[in-house]
Amino acid sequence: MFESEGVERDYPRVPGLVVLVLLAVLPWITHSEFLLESSFLAGLAAIEAYGLQIAYKYCGIFSMFYVASAGIGAYAVVVLALSDNFPFWAGLIVAVGAALIVGLIIGAVSVRCGGMYFVMVTFGLAGALGIVADNLNVTGGTNGLTVVQPMDLGLFSISGGSETASYLAMFVLVLASIAFLVIPRETRIGKRLIAGRDNIQLARSVGIRAHQQRVAVFALSAIPTVLAGALFAFHEYHVEPDQWGSTQALQVFVVLILGGLNSWSGPLIGAVIVTFLPNYLNLNPTLSQIAYGALLIAVIILAPVGVGGLLSKLTASTIRVTARTARTGRTKTTATAITDATTGGAAAIGPDSDQVAVSQVPEDE
């Protein structure tokens, strides 16, 4: 089911690094509101996909609860800000804590389900939370809630403040999500998680509490999506249940599959494709879903490693061909030089050939 853990070691990380660099410098090289807004949304989609990828990478499960986690993050900070004028950071801490508690409860119930049953259970529970949000006064019902004042982050404001500030906050969260995904892999805890993922029975036989690990990772994987949801709510000034429904859940799932499951660059590349493709092709929401489906089928059939993995392989092939060409060129140059030297020496050979041949060699060297 899993490819080797070294898939991103086998191929250069160039495509992901290129996207990261472009995200980092974009506010300083363009003032296009469309480009900055689209990049901001692509970054948030990538952060949510990283939450999904963490659960897959370390537990081997596809959790559809991440979209509900984003909704919890958005509603928690907005409700607290509007009711008690909580600082953004305080509301964010409450949001993360609430998502962790809900994640632990749902994880303890659903993690024992395997494969598609787990996907269905988490998807259904996420939908149930959406129905609850639709019918509560504190969440504003179907109309949602609107932020009317800026939230002070200490260094800058998100809502009503600088758009560059919210963009930078998004970029920092992208880097933190990548670190959250990559760093544990080489640690003792990460290796225990991977062992439990690959063979749960064998892991249990050597004393690894695989079930408890899965519940913990299921809950912790919600952290990136909580942060993304909170940032989105204050960037858009508004939050409502439809923003965290099934459409959003499937869209982030497509982001991860398109980009690639086994590489940290996959969510970034997939988010760029899913966010920018409909805008540049002027597709309406219905045609966008059709395009996503067609592209997803094509990627699964033609590039199982995802677009990110395919780009990495193409980059590796290009580097190998370039290096081989350079080596071949040097070899041909050396061979030509030797041939010229030999030919020149032979042409100079006369009655006193031994002396001429010897005198020719130092000149060519």
Residue 150 DSSP label? P
Q: How many residues does the chain have?
A: 365
pLDDT tens string for the chain (365 positions)? 444 444 444 445 777 888 899 988 888 888 888 888 889 999 999 999 999 899 888 888 888 887 888 888 888 888 887 776 677 777 788 888 988 898 888 888 887 776 778 888 888 888 888 888 888 888 888 888 887 666 555 545 544 445 677 888 899 999 999 999 988 888 888 888 888 888 778 888 888 887 888 888 888 988 999 999 888 887 777 888 878 777 777 888 888 888 888 888 889 998 998 888 877 777 777 777 787 788 888 888 887 778 877 777 777 777 778 877 877 766 656 656 556 555 554 444 444 444 443 334 344 44
pLDDT of residue 317: 77
Residue in 327, 351, 328, 346 with CA at minimum distance from that of residue 364: 346
Residue 156, C-beta contacts closer than 8 angstroms, at least 6 positions apart: 162, 165
Q: What share of the chain is helix, strand, coil (3-state, %, to 5)?
A: 80, 0, 20
- Dump the DSSP string for 221-253: THHHHHHHHHHHHHHHTEE-GGGGSHHHHHHHH
The answer to whether the beta carbons of residues 11 and 313 sit under 8 Å apart is yes
* Rounded distance between C-alpha atoms, residue 66 and residue 54, angstroms: 11
pTM listed for this prediction: 0.79
